[in-house]
A = this chain, B = another copy of it.
C-alpha cells in the first residue's frame, strides 16, 4: 500500500487523547450563550460530577486554559515572592513546578529525584525539616514523562506533619490513576481536560480546599484571571456562573464525557486503566524489553519502555506514525531517543493496546530489531483473556 492521507489513525499519546464520538458530536451542536437556560444545567452538572472524579467535597474551579494554566493558578494563589516552599520533581512535569516557582520568585527547596524513580516521602520530610516555614509542597501524581505514579497520599501526610499544604499535579493522572482527594488530605489537585477526561485540550481544573482558598484570600494581589476566590465566588452562585466566558463547547463535551465516566463508575475506570497498563507491560516484557521506571501495577496512565539496544529510539515513533498511523510518544529532554511511551489514559480499550503492540513489533523489526512478530500481542491477549474482558454493547 502506498502512503495515503486516509490511513486510519490511532492516537496513543498522553494528551491530547482520543475523544469519544458522542463527545465530539455534542461539541458540534449550535453554540449556547453561557447564561442561557440550556447551558446553565450543563455547567452545574459538570461542576458536580467533577467533584465525583476528584473524590472531593471541594469546589472544582474551572478555567479556560491548558493544564499548565491550572498549575499556575496554584502557584499564583498560594505563593508570593520570597515565600518558602518545597518543590518535588522526578521528570518533565515536576520541572514545570520548578519553572513556576522560579517565575514567581519563590524561595524553594528542590527535591529533584532521578527520572523514572518515585519521590521518596522521607526526602520530602527532610526537605521540609530543612525549610522551616515552608507553606506548600508541590508534587505530581502521574509523571507523564516517565510513567511513574507517585505516592501523593504519603507525601500529603508528611506535608501536613510540617504544617504545609500540598498541591498535586494530576493533569495526566486524574481519572486514570486512583485518586481520593479528601481521603488522602490533598489540599489542592489540578488537572486538565485532554487526558483521561476524554475531552479536547482547553480546560484546566483546580480542586481547592477551603483552607487553601482562605490562604489565597489573605493576599489577593498579583493575579486576576486565575484568582481562585473570584472563580469560586461565581461557581458558588445559584445558578453557578463563570467570571469569564467559559469554553461552552468544551463544557458540552465534558458533560457527556463525565457522564460516561460516572456511568462506567470510577473503580471500574481505574481497573480498566490498570489492566491496559498490565497488558502493555506484559507485551513488551514478552520481547525482553525493559519497562523504564517502575514495573508497577499502579502505572495505569503511560507505559514507558526502554528502547532495545541497536534500535534508533527516535525513529520508532516516527515510523509507527508515518507508516502505520499509530502515534506514540518518545522520550522528552534527557530521555530523548531512549524510551518509548505508550499512553492509555482515557478513551482506550484492549484492542488499542493490541494495535499499538502489533505496530511496535513491526516498526522495531524494520529498524533493525529482531522481535518475534505477534509474541507481544499474544502476551497482551493473555492478560485480557485472564481478566475476563468483556466489552459491553
In the bound complex, what is the Cα–Cα distance between A36 and B15 (angstroms)? 12
By a CB distance below 8 angstroms, the chain B residues around A327 are: 33, 36
Q: Contacts A64-B201, A69-B225, A227-B103 given: A16-B28 contact, CB under 8 Å? A: no
Confirm or deny: A271 has a beta carbon within 8 angstroms of a beta carbon on chain B.
Answer: no
* B33:A246 contact, CB within 8 angstroms: no
22 contacts between A and B (CB under 8 A): A9-B30, A15-B245, A16-B31, A16-B34, A19-B249, A27-B249, A33-B327, A64-B64, A64-B65, A64-B201, A66-B244, A66-B246, A66-B247, A67-B244, A68-B224, A69-B244, A81-B222, A104-B224, A201-B246, A202-B250, A222-B222, A247-B247
* B36:A17 contact, CB within 8 angstroms: no
Quote the shortest CB–CB distance from A251 to chain B (angstroms). 10
Confirm or deny: A264 has a beta carbon within 8 angstroms of a beta carbon on chain B.
Answer: no
Confirm or deny: A211 has a beta carbon within 8 angstroms of a beta carbon on chain B.
Answer: no
Confirm or deny: A25 has a beta carbon within 8 angstroms of a beta carbon on chain B.
Answer: yes
CB < 8 Å neighbour of A103 from B28, B202, B222: B222
Confirm or deny: A100 has a beta carbon within 8 angstroms of a beta carbon on chain B.
Answer: yes
Q: Mark A19-47, 1 if CB is under 8 A from B, else 0.
A: 10000110111111110110000000000
Main secondary structure of the interface of A (DSSP, over half): loop
Confirm or deny: A336 has a beta carbon within 8 angstroms of a beta carbon on chain B.
Answer: no
* A28:B27 contact, CB within 8 angstroms: yes
Confirm or deny: A99 has a beta carbon within 8 angstroms of a beta carbon on chain B.
Answer: yes
Extra inter-chain contacts (19) besides given A64-B201, A66-B244, A247-B250, CB under 8 Å: A11-B30, A11-B32, A13-B33, A19-B30, A24-B27, A64-B64, A64-B69, A64-B202, A67-B245, A69-B225, A69-B244, A99-B224, A103-B220, A103-B223, A105-B221, A200-B250, A201-B246, A202-B202, A202-B249
By a CB distance below 8 angstroms, the chain B residues around A36 are: 321, 327
